[in-house]
Amino acid sequence: MVARLVVVEGLDGAGKNTLTTALVGELTDRGVSVGRLAFPRYGTLHADLAADALHGGQAGAADSPHAMALLFALDRHAALGELGDLISSHDVVLLDRYVASNAAYTAARLGPGRQDEVLRWIGELEFDRLGLPTPDLQILLDTPVALAAERAGSRETADPGRTRDRYERDAALQAATGEIYRRLAATGWRSPWQVLGVDPDVRRLADLVAGH
């Protein structure tokens, strides 16, 4: 059996990690074997260069929208083997962020006039040229910007080592990213999407993911 590849997308602080953890628990309880991976894969070369740029470090020279998008894409390209192993050994593979994150954030940075061009570019680069597998389902956790920002802020307060990066501090960028995510979902960008509101029903989501 080939695993269903399911992606959880949303703004910084939307609750993706929390939802993914709950979904892994619910699916596992049902006897579904679940693989899990989050992007960027902190601790790897390209992801750490991207993170450094986001935090204003030495790699800040790479902080143009296209350069950042390439770093995130190369991190996924380097994960192809790991992703293939997960897909071949589980019923379902859950990804916390994937190609649509790159599409949404990069398009938001470039502004309205260049959105179509960048959405096409990212899709062609990552899926068609780099050969990343197409998701079976993309889930947009559509948490309102203010609530997502509040959650990201309280996480920083609880753990001062987890400082917010420049994307997380930029309310306008988050709002623009949220709009692009909704557009990606409405147009079925690259695969079917499911849009969820705040505090989604994890059991119903598990039904959908497990294909019941």
Ligand X SMILES: Nc1ncnc2c1ncn2[C@@H]1O[C@H](COP(=O)(O)OP(=O)(O)OP(=O)(O)O)[C@@H](O)[C@H]1O
Residues that bind ligand LXEULUCI (CB under 6 A): 12, 39-40, 72, 97, 101-102, 105, 167
- What contacts 212, CB < 8 A, 6 or more positions away? none
41 binds ligand X, rule: CB under 6 A: no
- Residue from 36, 66, 151, 183 that binds ligand X (CB under 6 A)? 151
With respect to ligand LXEULUCI, which residue has the nearer C-beta, 97 or 190? 97
Residue 89 CB, shortest distance to ligand LXEULUCI, in Å, is 23
3-state secondary structure of 91: coil
Least separation in angstroms between CB 23 and ligand X: 12
Return the closest-CA partner of residue 106 out of 173, 37, 41, 7: 173
Query: Minimal CA–CA distance to 89: which of 37, 23, 34?
Result: 34
Residue 150 or 211: the one with the smaller Cβ distance to ligand X is 150
Please identify, using beta-carbon distances, which residue of 16 and 190 lies nearer to ligand X. 16
Q: Which of 47, 25, 48 is nearest to 36 (CA)?
A: 25
